[in-house]
Amino acid sequence: MGTGTDTPHGARAHARAQHGTRTATMPVVPATDWPDPPCAAGHLVWAETVAGGGYTHRPVARGTEIRLTDLQGDACAHLLLHSQARPWERLNVADTVKVQWNAYLRTGRLLLSDQGRVLATLVADTTDGRHDTLCGTSTLVRNTRRYGDGAAHSATPAGRELLTLAALKNGLDARDLPPSLSFFQGVEVRSGDHGDGDGDGTLHFTGSAGPGGSVTLRAEQDLTVLIANVPHPLDPRPAYTSTPLEVLAWRAAPTRPGDPLWDATPEGHRAFLNTAELLAAKDPS
Listed in sequence order, the residues at least 6 apart from 134 whose beta carbon sits closer than 8 Å to its beta carbon are 97, 103, 187, 189, 203
Listed in sequence order, the residues at least 6 apart from 31 whose beta carbon sits closer than 8 Å to its beta carbon are 44, 45, 46, 47, 248, 249
Q: Does residue 9 fall inside a structural domain?
A: no
Cα-Cα-Cα-Cα dihedral sign, residues 116, 121, 122, 123: positive
Q: What share of the chain has pLDDT > 70, as a percent? A: 91
Q: How far apart are CA 39 and CA 46, in angstroms?
A: 12
- Tens digit of each residue's pLDDT (9 = 90 or more) over 191-211: 765 555 556 788 999 999 999
Give the 3-state secondary structure percentages of the chain, helix then strand then coil, rounded to 5.
20, 30, 50
| pTM exceeds 0.85 for this model | yes
Mean pLDDT of 27-44: 89
Phi, psi for residue 61 in degrees, rounded to 5: -85, 155
**CA 253 distance to own-chain centroid:** 20
Q: Does residue 191 fall inside a structural domain?
A: yes
Q: What is the pLDDT of residue 217?
A: 98
Q: Does residue 167 fall inside a structural domain?
A: yes
Q: Does residue 32 fall inside a structural domain?
A: no
- What is the domain range of residue 196? 45-282
- Tens digit of each residue's pLDDT (9 = 90 or more) over 256-265: 999 999 999 9
- Per the structure, the count of domains in the chain is 1
Q: Does residue 10 fall inside a structural domain?
A: no
Under 8 Å between Cβ of 71 and 242: no
